[in-house]
Amino acid sequence: MADVEHMKQLACQRAAQEVQDGMVLGLGTGTTVYYFLQELGRMVRTGRRLTGVPTSVRTAEIATQLAIPLTTLDNQPHLDLAVDGADEVDTNLNLIKGAGGALLREKIIAASADRFVVVVDASKVVTQLGERYPLPVEVVPFGHIPAIRTLEGLGARVSLRRSTDGQPWVSDNGNYILDCHFGPIPDPVALQKKLLAIPAVVDSGLFLNMTDMAIVGHADGVRLLQRGEGARTSADGGGGRPHTTRSARSSGLQDR
């Protein structure tokens, strides 16, 4: 197994320790979360009672193959825990997400959960968001050209995400994704406000003040980054921090 895949697997094994019997889980999308789904599949096979709400069609397919029971937000609007990957994580636990194209559903799921835990390998930790990855922005197809012009006016180099056949890539929501290269983003809160003011923009891959814990896989173990607690090495595999309500995290954003 390549080193980076080993890091992803270690992070997901640690994330599985956050899961308790009877939980309703938000299931993220991507190559890292794949390993978390494998852990959940093993739990289900040993009799653990779990239910998941997937963030994408692809995640739903994998979960079904693993016999993980699924439901929807219509039936379970309150989630105990959401686990997902990220393209970048900064020191304030803000994220860039959306390389897999599921950013809108991922954000809805994260906002619906008592706790939002992110699993990444060590290469995804950055000082400033935008250092390594473009910022995905989901847009309504009807207005994607005006949106591109406005985003370029904000300083981004913008590319329309395309499928292997050259056609625009379409999200599970029927929208397009614009990959926006801003470079390092000094004020992601201000940028998000500008993005949401563009009429065709549905949302962006900026996840601000939403993450409770990031589990970072390294070659020799994992490190836990927790809001307000800095980083520490995981040696005990304990149950993590107490639950933080969504309202508390929202008020924290207002105080920043």
**Secondary structure (DSSP) of the chain:** --HHHHHHHHHHHHHHTT--TT-EEEE--STTHHHHHHHHHHHHHTT---EEEESSHHHHHHHHHTT--B--TTT---EEEEEE--SEE-TTS-EE--TTS-HHHHHHHHHTEEEEEEEEEGGGB-SSTTSSS-EEEEE-GGGHHHHHHHHHHTT-EEEE-B-TTSSBPB-TTS-EEEEEE--S-S-HHHHHHHHHTSTTEEEESEE-S--SEEEEEETTEEEEEETTTEEEE--S----SPP--HHHHHHHHHH-
Residue 19 is part of a domain; what is its CATH number? Answer: 3.40.50.1360
Q: Measured between alpha carbons, how far is 161 from 25 in angstroms, rounded to an integer? A: 29
Pick the last residue of a domain from 177, 202, 227: 202
pLDDT tens, position by position, 192-211: 999 999 999 999 999 999 99
Same domain, 45 and 118: yes
Same domain, 167 and 250: no
Same domain, 58 and 76: yes
Cα three-residue angle 141-138-108, rounded to 5 degrees: 125
Q: Measured between alpha carbons, how far is 40 from 27 in angstroms, rounded to an integer? A: 10
188 closest CA partner among 97, 65, 80, 108: 97
Q: Note whether 54 and 63 are within 8 A (CB).
A: yes
Residue 20 φ/ψ region, left for φ over 0, alpha for ψ in the -120 to 50 degree band, beta for the rest? beta
Its pTM stands at 0.89
Same domain, 86 and 179: no
Same domain, 147 and 113: no
Same domain, 85 and 36: yes
Same domain, 15 and 113: yes
Regions of the chain where pLDDT drops below 50: 1, 230-256
Same domain, 9 and 110: yes
pLDDT tens, position by position, 221-241: 999 999 865 444 443 333 333
The pLDDT of residue 117: 98
Same domain, 179 and 56: no
The pLDDT of residue 229: 58
Cα 69 from chain centre:
21
The pLDDT of residue 2: 64
The pLDDT of residue 227: 83
Pull the structure tokens for residue 190: 């201000």
**Structural domain count, the chain:** 2
Residue 183 is part of a domain; what is its CATH number? Answer: 3.30.70.260
Length of the chain: 256
Instruction: Exactly one of 106, 131, 152, 229 is catalytic; name it.
Output: 106
Q: Is 229 part of the annotated catalytic residue set?
A: no
Same domain, 10 and 51: yes
Pick the last residue of a domain from 202, 222, 246: 202
Domain encompassing residue 157: 135-202
Same domain, 227 and 149: no
Same domain, 103 and 226: yes
